[in-house]
């Protein structure tokens, strides 16, 4: 690789890295397989195997973002043009065996795909598509079996040594990949198919950051029914956003260390969500005001929605007020209306919740009263302590009672049960 090409790769990387920190899609461009910005390879590599050339464009079932745009490119490198289009389209574009060329192109109100086809068509190029990967090149170079070929590519590293990246690639469990590390720990050579190189690129961009110097610990989430991107979407909908992760088949390799203290909870949630019903179901979190999640789930089941409705509560369903609901889209409004009716303010009642006798009994109940108010959010004024009921000043008996809705009374009882005293148990 000549110095100019090396300079372009480093310059392009520096120019595009900030953008890629915000966007998960990139463009790959090579001289034989030249990775232009924003990607981590330096622009050297070979493609093993030769075959008959093709002239037709291959399509894919992957749904790209194909919004309409107006563009005006003047004297712009084709690699930068394809970089911008790839980001907008949500794909990876590989430019094969094509020399850098400046583009002059202007058009109004055309789709992203039309813009790409017109630009590459003007250079005598065509493309193949396989899923999220699009390969651009001359008809004489592209082959129908291109995606099965083994491609050797060099990736540059900036914060994480090559040996560590090699171990992480191994942890991905990718088959038919060859990894070579030389004395320069800022370079790593990887040989694999275009699909494998895409996963390696995703891994490197996920971990090769400044904060990765502190920790490269990761957790694995394995899915059985729903796709990994659907799992990411569902977790985000309930307030758990994965930021640093790699998708591979039915697994998610997660590097978000701030989530690890909650990992048992996250794993439980994913297991609950990992069913065929979650593929097309509407998922939402309902924030309750007057009743707990466990109570809401129990009462919602009595609306006879059948198996079409699924509710998920956390480990503290007796106390939490967030209910995760999965339902068909056409039932969402009905389910929300049912939850509104369940969560309505109910008439207050007076219920005794705890009793204490003997020396210090009053002080004990008064301390519990304050703690229960703090834990439940119920006003301290709702808690009362009776007069001495024993008639014996030396061995008094006092009762702690609360004036609240049945739901809040049950919450107080459950809290007392967790504290190891009082009259916990079921109730309306």
Query: What's the sign of the alpha-carbon dihedral 137, 143, 147, 150?
Result: negative
> Domain of 324: which CATH number?
3.30.1370
Angle at 259 between CA 263 and CA 266, to 5 degrees: 35
Same domain, 16 and 129: yes
Q: Is residue 19 in some structural domain? A: yes
Provide the pLDDT for residue 203: 84
Q: Is residue 137 in some structural domain? A: yes
Q: Give the neighbor-by-neighbor strand order of the sheet with 349-357.
A: 349-357, 397-404, 383-385
Q: Is residue 273 in some structural domain? A: yes
Scored b (16 or more CB within 10 A) or e, 77-96 reads bbbbbbbbbbbbbbbbbbbb
Same domain, 108 and 251: no
Provide the pLDDT for residue 117: 92
Same domain, 403 and 333: no
**In angstroms, rounded to a whole number, what is the distance separating the alpha carbons of residues 32 and 24?**
24
Same domain, 314 and 228: no
Where is the domain boundary, 193, 216, 239? 216
Please state the three-class secondary structure of the chain as a single string: CCHHHHHHHHHHHHHHHHHHCCCCCCCEECCCECCCCCCCEEEEEEECCCCCCCCCCCCCCCCCCCCEEEEEEEEEEHHHHHHHHHHHHCCEEEEECCCCCEEEEEEEEEEHHHHHHHHHHCCCCEEEEECCEEEEECCCCCCCCHHHCCEEEEEECCCCCHHHHHHHHHHHCCCCCEEECCCCCCEEEEEECHHHHHHHHHHHHHHCCHHHHCCCCCEEEECCCCCHHHHHHHHHHCCCCCCCEEEECCEEEECCHHHHHHHHHHHHHHHHHCCHHHCCCEEEEEECCCCCHHHHHHHHHHHCCHHHCEEECCCCCCCCCEEEEEECHHHHHHHHHHHHHHCCCCCCEEEEEEEEECCCHHHHHHHHHHHHHHHHCCCHHHEEECCCCCCCCCCCEEEEEEEECHHHHHHHHHHHHHHCCCCCCCCC
Where is the domain boundary, 257, 278, 299? 278
**Dmax of the chain from CA atoms?**
104
Same domain, 266 and 311: no
Other Cβ atoms less than 10 A from the Cβ of 68: the count is 11
Count: domains in the chain: 4
Provide the pLDDT for residue 397: 93
Same domain, 337 and 360: no
Where is the domain boundary, 278, 299, 327? 278
Tokens of 323: 């209910």
Q: Residue 316: give the domain boundaries.
A: 282-342
Same domain, 21 and 84: yes
Same domain, 359 and 233: no
Same domain, 206 and 239: no
Same domain, 255 and 292: no
> Domain of 17: which CATH number?
3.55.50.30
Digit-coded pLDDT (tens) for 159-209? 888 888 888 888 777 666 677 777 778 888 888 777 788 888 888 888 887
**In angstroms, rounded to a whole number, what is the distance separating the alpha carbons of residues 230 and 326?**
13
Provide the pLDDT for residue 46: 41
Q: Give the neighbor-by-neighbor strand order of the sheet with 282-287.
A: 282-287, 322-327, 310-312
Q: Is residue 425 in some structural domain? A: no
With a cut of 50, which residues of the chain have pLDDT below it? 1-60, 424-428
Q: Is residue 428 in some structural domain? A: no
Q: Is residue 424 in some structural domain? A: no
Confirm whether pTM is higher than 0.75. no
Provide the pLDDT for residue 24: 32
Under 8 Å between Cβ of 108 and 38: no
Same domain, 332 and 268: no
Same domain, 357 and 321: no
Digit-coded pLDDT (tens) for 419-428? 876 554 444 4
Provide the pLDDT for residue 315: 59
Scored b (16 or more CB within 10 A) or e, 22-61 reads eeebbbbbbbbbbbbbbbbbbbbbebeeeeeebeeebeee
Provide the pLDDT for residue 29: 38
């Amino acid at each position: 690789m000549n110095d100019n090409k090396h300079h372009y790769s480093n310059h392009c990387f520096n120019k595009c890295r900030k953008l890629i920190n915000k966007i998960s899609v990139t463009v790959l461009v090579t001289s034989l397989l030249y990775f232009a910005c924003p990607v981590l390879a330096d622009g050297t590599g070979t493609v093993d195997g030769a075959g008959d050339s093709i002239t037709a464009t291959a399509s894919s079932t992957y749904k790209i973002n194909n919004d309409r745009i107006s563009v005006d490119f003047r004297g712009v490198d084709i690699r930068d043009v394809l970089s911008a289009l790839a980001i907008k389209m949500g794909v990876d574009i590989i430019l094969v065996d094509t020399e850098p060329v400046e583009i002059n192109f202007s058009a109004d109100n055309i789709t992203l795909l039309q813009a790409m086809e017109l630009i590459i068509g003007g250079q005598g190029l065509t493309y193949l598509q396989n899923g999220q990967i699009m390969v651009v090149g001359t008809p004489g170079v592209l082959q129908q079996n291109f995606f099965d070929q083994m491609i050797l590519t060099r990736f540059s590293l900036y914060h994480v040594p090559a040996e560590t990246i090699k171990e992480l690639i191994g942890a991905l469990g990718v088959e038919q990949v060859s990894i070579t590390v030389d004395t320069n720990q800022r370079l790593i050579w990887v040989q694999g198919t275009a699909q494998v190189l895409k996963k390696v690129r995703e891994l490197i961009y996920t971990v090769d950051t400044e904060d990765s110097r502190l920790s490269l610990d990761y957790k694995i989430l394995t899915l059985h029914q729903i796709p990994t991107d659907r799992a990411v979407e569902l977790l985000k909908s309930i307030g758990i956003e994965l930021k640093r992760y790699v998708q591979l088949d039915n697994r998610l390799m997660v590097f978000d260390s701030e989530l690890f203290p909650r990992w048992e909870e996250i794993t439980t949630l994913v297991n609950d969500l990992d069913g065929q019903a979650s593929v097309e179901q509407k998922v939402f979190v309902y924030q309750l005001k007057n009743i707990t999640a466990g109570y809401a789930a129990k009462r919602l089941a009595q609306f006879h929605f059948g198996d079409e409705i699924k509710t998920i509560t956390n480990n503290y369903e007796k106390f939490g007020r967030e209910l995760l609901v999965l339902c068909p889209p056409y039932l969402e409004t009905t389910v929300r209306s049912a939850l509104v009716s369940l969560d309505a303010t109910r008439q207050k009642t007076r219920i005794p919740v705890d009793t204490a006798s003997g020396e210090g009994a009053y002080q004990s109940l008064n301390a519990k009263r304050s703690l229960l108010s703090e834990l439940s959010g119920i006003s301290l004024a709702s808690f009362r302590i009776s007069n001495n009921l024993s008639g014996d000043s030396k061995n008094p008996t006092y009762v702690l009672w609360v004036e609240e809705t049945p739901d809040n009374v049950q919450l107080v009882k459950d809290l007392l049960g967790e504290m190891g005293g009082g009259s916990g148990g079921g109730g309306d």
